[in-house]
Amino acid sequence: MTRAGTVSVVGKPNAGKSTLLNRIIGQKLSIISPKPQSTRQRVVGIHTAGDVQMIISDTPGLLDPTYPLQHAMRSIAVQSLGDADVIIYISDALEGPPPDLAEAAQATIPRNASVIEVINKVDALPTAGREQLRAARPDAHFISAVTGEGIEELLAEVADKLPASPFLYPEDDIGTQSTRFFVTELVRETALEQLHEEVPYSIACEIEEFREDRIPWYIRAVIYVERDSQKRILIGHKGAQIRDLGSAARQKIEDLVGERVYLDLWVKVLPNWRRSPRDLKRFGFDLPEGLSR
Ligand code: GDP
Ligand code: MG
């Protein structure tokens, strides 16, 4: 008899949700950054081991939204709470004992979902701090998504809580999203690495042409920013910045697809797209009711 179900990883920005997903899947599906709010969309990984299959969603951080893109990001996180058989509620050990999930999410937690509390980054915590946290949160799993400590035990508990079900995906699938999606995410991750302040947050990436019928693959992508000044920063002196960004992103894309790639990057301005319902929709974001006009 097999078990299968959906697992949502939720928590505040920067808690290590994406690092945990990648650690469980054993491959980089979700982008990671020391800068908060790097994950904007749900990223789905599939973990099949023995007679258990977990369909795991990495989500944007639970935050208080201040502009429409953040409203859309928050509603993705809240929605994935509603879809879950098991919720992994992850927090950063360095921030002390976490608030309850309902409080952190400012939402009611569906009663049919099992919530597993996870305290991450214990590798960065001195022993005394660990003891204190353990006393405060005796039921939590203490893990390090970076070193792998505590992950086996966590997965065993998740497996216990999943319903009896046939597998929902073929056993060797690890994701559900298109290569195009991962390419746009890798461009954004590289922007988060190379650019500072508002600029990386003002970026959206869209694929205009994607040709796998030649070597190298030809991928033309547009990076949208919100203002001319951001476009100038992104392009840099004599195009140096966009060249650096393009070459680092291209290497990541080649690692992902296992093929040589020609990445043709363009920069365009789409004024205030993060606040425009129409532009958000174009980039795949749904605004919650009442904010969609
Ligand atoms: P998310 O916003 O919750 O998805 O967090 P990320 O997975 O992007 O991680 C945020 C930052 O925390 C990154 O710089 C990670 O390298 C770091 N991080 C994640 N997990 C761990 C961990 O177990 N230990 C340590 N020391 N750092 C971690
Ligand atoms: Mg993330």
Per DSSP, the residues of 166-196 read --SS-TT--B-S-HHHHHHHHHHHHHHHH--
Task: Confirm or reject: Cβ of 105 under 6 Å from ligand 1.
Answer: no
Task: Confirm or reject: Cβ of 124 under 6 Å from ligand 1.
Answer: yes
Q: Find residue 45's DSSP bridge partners.
A: 56, 175
| Nearest protein Cα to ligand 1, atom 6 | 16
Q: Ligand 2 center to residue 1 CA distance, Å?
A: 33
- Atom index in ligand 1 nearest the CA of residue 145 equals 23
Tell me how far apart the alpha carbons of residues 156 and 63 are, in angstroms, rounded to a whole number: 29
Torsion-angle region of 150 (φ positive above 0: left; ψ -120 to 50: alpha; else: beta)? left
Q: Which of 12, 32, 186 to mutate to test the pocket of ligand 1 (most atoms within 8 A of CB)?
A: 32
- Atom index in ligand 1 nearest the CA of residue 11 equals 3
Q: Mark the residues whose beta carbon lies below 5 A from ion ligand 2.
A: 17-18, 39
**Per residue in 66-86, pLDDT tens?**
999 999 999 999 999 999 999
Min mean pLDDT across 12-21, 100-109, 162-171, 239-248 is at: 100-109
Task: Confirm or reject: Cβ of 32 under 6 Å from ligand 1.
Answer: yes
**Per residue in 222-236, pLDDT tens?**
999 999 999 999 999
Task: Confirm or reject: Cβ of 61 under 6 Å from ligand 1.
Answer: yes
- Atom index in ligand 1 nearest the CA of residue 36 equals 2
Question: What are the backbone angles phi and psi of residue 53, rounded to the nearest 5°?
Answer: -125, 125
Q: What is the pTM of this model?
A: 0.97
Tell me how far apart the alpha carbons of residues 271 and 66 are, in angstroms, rounded to a whole number: 18
Tracing tokens 């893109």 back to the chain, one arrives at 69
- Atom index in ligand 1 nearest the CA of residue 13 equals 2
Task: Confirm or reject: Cβ of 144 under 6 Å from ligand 1.
Answer: yes
Is 144's pLDDT higher than 80? yes
Task: Tell me the mean pLDDT in the region 52-63.
Answer: 97
Q: Ligand 2 center to residue 134 CA distance, Å?
A: 25
**Using alpha carbons only, what angle is made at residue 179 by residues 173 and 184, rounded to the nearest 5 degrees?**
135
**Per residue in 176-212, pLDDT tens?**
999 999 999 999 999 999 999 999 999 999 999 999 9
Q: Which of 9, 14, 18, 147 to mutate to test the pocket of ligand 1 (most atoms within 8 A of CB)?
A: 14
Residue type at position 27 = Q
